[in-house]
Amino acid sequence: MAAAFLNQTSKPERLDEKRSEILDFIEQQKQVDRKVVLVTSGGTTVPLESKTVRFIDNFSVGSRGAASTEYPFYSSKSRTCTRILKYESETCDHTKGYAVVFLHRNRSLKPFLRHLSTYNFLDLLELDGENQDAPVKVKSEHQKRLSSILRDYEQVQRDRSLLWVEFQSLSEYLHLLQMCSTCLQGLGKSAMLYLAAAVADFYIPKDQMPEHKIQSAEGPLQLSLQLVPKMLEPLVKEWVPEAFVVSFKLETNKDILVSKSLQALDKYQHQLVIANLLETRKREVKLVTTDNCVDISMTTEELSSGHEIEEKIVRELASLHSKFCSPDGH
């Protein structure tokens, strides 16, 4: 069913060009013996027309994926890893960390830039003087915060450890997910997939979709939606079979959270499910494997001081992935 869905939907523009970019990026990471993680982030749109004016969307803005990308995934050899080891106050000693392929929804939150999402960008700036050619500078009250963000971003740029890949619709995302996954195949166990994107469960098949904008003058709209094939099964079995794969399970009923996660692990045979409830997802998650369930939570003090639960999540994942990559890992 997954193959049939991909065959009947249009491929994204410049797909071959993007594949070459990703393969080049992966080759650069192999040269420095750096692991690679594919982070998917943001929601997927479901078009209602071929020439899309209207679409179905979800509430995801990509907070989890964008935040997670800033932590241990991009530490470099020479960097003081304040984000990775914030709780231990240590320095990274010759760790290469991860490089990230960040597969994200356009206009969703992005690493580093997300810290400015609540600001009007122009309110951060001022003219340094009254004349027509006065230079622009950052207002003094924002300089410390911006310099910290910029320092982290420039480190990632120097390391060449972050590649941005953008999608909009459900079909674009699934084609790009397949392409990115198969590109990672050559890394074997050194590849991790962190599937935080909020993927639509329903769609309108292309042959049932009107070409032009739906007219309200025609009266109430009735939609017939089909189930989206689950791509986790071909991803694990075919596209990138040796990788460490992490999926997410979001529920509103705590009584079924762990059982649904275990069902997913049994069905798809991947390594880990991050289980969270809608109301508490920023404070509590469970890392569920076939033989263990680790609770990760944030105290009020940690949250009020600016810490994020993604710090703890990705640190634990890095440890589990390291064990997975060891000679006796499985």
Q: pLDDT per residue over 14-56, tens digit each? A: 999 999 999 999 999 999 999 999 999 999 999 999 999 999 9
Checking if the pLDDT of 79 tops 70, the result is no
Centre a 10 Å sphere on the Cβ of residue 138 and count the other Cβ atoms it contains: 15
> Are 36 and 99 spatial neighbours (Cβ–Cβ below 8 Å)?
yes
* Whether 248 contacts 194, CB under 8 Å: no
Mean pLDDT of 246-255: 97
Whole-number mean pLDDT of the chain?
92
Q: Is residue 242 part of a domain?
A: yes
Residue 330 covered by a domain: no
CATH number at residue 215: 3.40.50.10300
Mean pLDDT calculated for residue range 158-162: 93
Strand order in the sheet with 272-277: 162-167, 98-105, 35-41, 191-195, 244-251, 272-277, 284-289, 292-297
Domain count, the chain: 1
Q: What is the pLDDT of residues 255-281, one digit of tens each?
A: 999 999 999 999 999 999 999 999 999
Indicate the pLDDT class of residue 151, thresholds 50, 70 and 90: very high
Which tokens sit at 217?
């003058």
Q: Against a cut of 0.95, is the pTM above it?
A: no
228 lies in some domain: yes
Distance CA 321, CA 75 (A): 15
Range of the domain at 67: 2-325
DSSP 97-131: -EEEEEEEETTS--TTGGGGTTS-GGGGEEESSSS
Q: Are 170 and 228 in contact (CB under 8 A)?
A: yes
Whether 235 and 182 have beta carbons less than 8 Å apart is answered as: no
Confidence bin at 90 (pLDDT 50/70/90): very low
Residue 71: band (very low, low, confident or very high) from pLDDT cuts 50, 70, 90: confident
Would residue 284 count as lying in a domain? Answer: yes
